[in-house]
Chains A and B, each alone.
Chain A
Amino acid sequence: MIEYFQKKHLIQDTRFKFRKADVPADLTKSVRLEGILMPLIASGDKEPVVLDGYRRLGLLEDEETVPVQLIRDRKAALRASVELNMLASPYSEMEKAGLVSSVLENGWMDDREILDTLLPRLGLKGQQIVLDSCLTVRLLDSKLSAVLAARKAPLKFAARLSREPLDEQSVLTEFFSIHRLSLSRMVQAYDLLVPVRKAGNESFSTIIRNLDEENEDVLEQLRQKRFRRAFEYKKQLGSLLGRYRGKLSFPEDMEGEAFRFSCLLKYPEDARKYAAMLREISENDEIFYFLSEHFGND
């Protein structure tokens, strides 16, 4: 049922403000020019509580009239609101987590209802572990949470980070922000930092402090810390290939045809060693097998 209310007669409850992002410019422009066209969703009768549409409502004066879709049952209203939002402009993963946590913490739905009706509408699996992740994510440092939301980080990654102590979370926030890491580089960096921290029994801040500031490729630096022995092999390979410098565009051609055939013609022993070492440091097995076939298996 669609009814028209003056803004001042609508009850606003901040607990239903699930959107964290700023109001998009085109939405602001549209509301300023045309008013609210798509009905808000509210529950209740004479004093409707707004469930959806806070951002648009915030752009109006108190006296202005807005269309409201009134749904008596609050749970049904919540479901309708989620469906509409996911269709029009899907929530970010962090917003979803916030929404689910609010619904649970305020007792608007029980676990089972959330699993059965809310999570699937949010595009999440209706499983307890997903619900738990939503709750865990609430423990995130607020700045880190904002960084993750801005990068559209998946819930799983946010949940992983939320298990870190708060001081480590702030170090990560700063690290991700200073180096302007994209989401995939953030994930890679974190995947590298965790084992380095464990191996050296040191904190993220110590590891990060010891990175070379002159070298902007922080991921490469972390990789070198994580994969020390693989980098040693790589160094050996570099010295083995030293005598080819100038003849090849080393190292770009390391896995290329040019080097493959140079080896075949000139230094078979080096080719064999090269192939064996290349196999350790590269994902490319092909050259190993190719050279093995040509030089035998000794």
Chain B
Amino acid sequence: MIERIFVTEAAVQYAYVKKICDRAELEPELIRDDAAYRNDIERFLTDPVGQGKRHLLLDVFRGEFFRKCPGTRGKVCCNYYVIDQTSNCPFDCSYCFLQSYLNLRAIRFAVNVEDLFRELEAVFRRRRFIRVGTGELADSLALEPLTGFGGMLMKFAVEFPGVVLELKTKSSNVDELPDVRKKPGRGVIGWTMEPAHVVNNEERGTATLEERLAASSRAAKKGYGIAFHLDPVVFFPGFEEAYLNLVEQIFSHHEKLDWMSLAGFRYEPALKSYVEERFPNSELLDGEFLRCSDGKFRYLFPERIRFFRRLVEKVKQLSPKTPLYFCMEDARTWKLVMGEKALTDPVLTPIFLREGDDEE
């Protein structure tokens, strides 16, 4: 998966670098900084997005790791916080916004994790409840066999009561994670789930659907809460039955989830050329899309609503207590699909809890 490791001059002194290189069994290549990577490596790549995913850049990050998930303009916010310690991902999915979002093609991994833990400790001690994840700009567990970072972070976070840490992944790398039973905080592993047709056609390098489901059962045994994200829901011939079957498969493994999110495929205009050039067999752009108020393209509104209603009904029928929410959809969509009281449904309270008043 990772073919070359680059280490910046700032990172070279960290012991963590050696640990990662040893695990990867790769000789690190020393470079001045990320700009040197761009200038000396990246611009000579024939497929910078694809090849960059096989390059790991170990660096030191001097800014703040922790921030509020930016959400999207005009859409309902789920009050999620994110930790940006890694950016980019070795998996290569046609629908991934990172292709057009990131300005460095290698996977950038900050090795100064002590700084991160110090920053998080200050935040976690201040709050009674917080839901946080690392899966915004990276897959939380894709590099786990090399870095062990997900496990370290989890071990740290679950010691704080009120902290819910979600590691979001399309891998099956859960076996090295710590046991979190009897811990004051909550560890959740979230999987992005797609029907096998989408996994096979639109994702490269990810675990199969069966592997993800099996991994979720193993994680549950270690005390983890389980979440699934049907995101993005992709329309293709036969997609309705495929997603409904997927929901059945999920709930045949788990009676109740910590949460489940839904989101139709949407894209910024810049993503289109990446899909066309890099995924010639993709069916992602075959549907009919309309440009929405936030500038992103989404499937036609009535078709989204119609299908989400079926999907929600299925989830409610199989697991009424599983909190279900939309990602990147507006209040109108919530209400049309789940009814007028959708946003105030008590089942969502544990995950949408806002605690602006909680800060000491």
Contact = CB atoms under 8 A, between A and B. Distances in A.
A280 B306 CA distance: 13
B253 interface: no
B48 A229 contact: no
B46 A128 contact: yes
Interface string A116-135: 00000000011111001000
Interface string B289-309: 011110000001111000000
Contacts of A198: 286
A236 to B, nearest CB: 10
Contacts of A126: 43
Given A128-B44, A195-B285, A230-B300, 4 more contacts: A115-B43, A128-B45, A129-B46, A156-B273
B40 to A, nearest CB: 10
B332 interface: yes
Interface string A260-293: 0000000000000000100111010100100010
A4 interface: no
A210 B18 CA distance: 64
A136 to B, nearest CB: 11
11 contacts: A125-B43, A127-B44, A128-B44, A128-B45, A129-B46, A160-B276, A230-B288, A281-B290, A292-B332, A297-B332, A297-B340
B288 A228 contact: yes
A288 to B, nearest CB: 8
Contacts of B32: none
A154 to B, nearest CB: 12
B290 A132 contact: no
A156 B302 CA distance: 35
Q: Nearest 5 CB-CB pairs, A to B?
A: A285-B293, A127-B43, A280-B301, A128-B44, A227-B288
Interface in A212-233: 226-230, 233
A132 B46 contact: yes
A199 interface: yes
Interface of A: 111, 115, 125-129, 132, 156, 160, 194-195, 198-199, 226-230, 233, 276, 279-281, 283, 285, 288, 292, 297
B335 interface: yes
A280 B48 contact: no
Nearest to B272: A191
A294 B46 CA distance: 55
Interface in B71-112: none
A279 B301 contact: yes
Interface size grouping (class) on chain B? 20 to 34
Contact of A129 (B48, B288, B290, B301): B48
A29 to B, nearest CB: 43
Contacts of A227: 288
Contacts of B43: 115, 125-128
B44 A229 contact: no
Contact of A280 (B46, B286, B290, B293): B290
B302 A280 contact: yes
B168 to A, nearest CB: 30
Contacts of A233: 300, 302
B288 A229 contact: yes
Contacts of B286: 195, 198-199
Contacts of B44: 111, 115, 127-128
Given A229-B288, A280-B290, A127 B300 contact: no
A194 B301 CA distance: 24
A132 B286 CA distance: 27
Contacts of B340: 297
A189 B103 CA distance: 30
B46 A229 contact: no
Contacts of A132: 46
A297 B46 CA distance: 52
A127 B332 contact: no
Nearest to B273: A156
B292 A285 contact: yes
Given A115-B43, A127-B43, A229 B303 contact: yes
A160 to B, nearest CB: 8
A280 B300 CA distance: 6
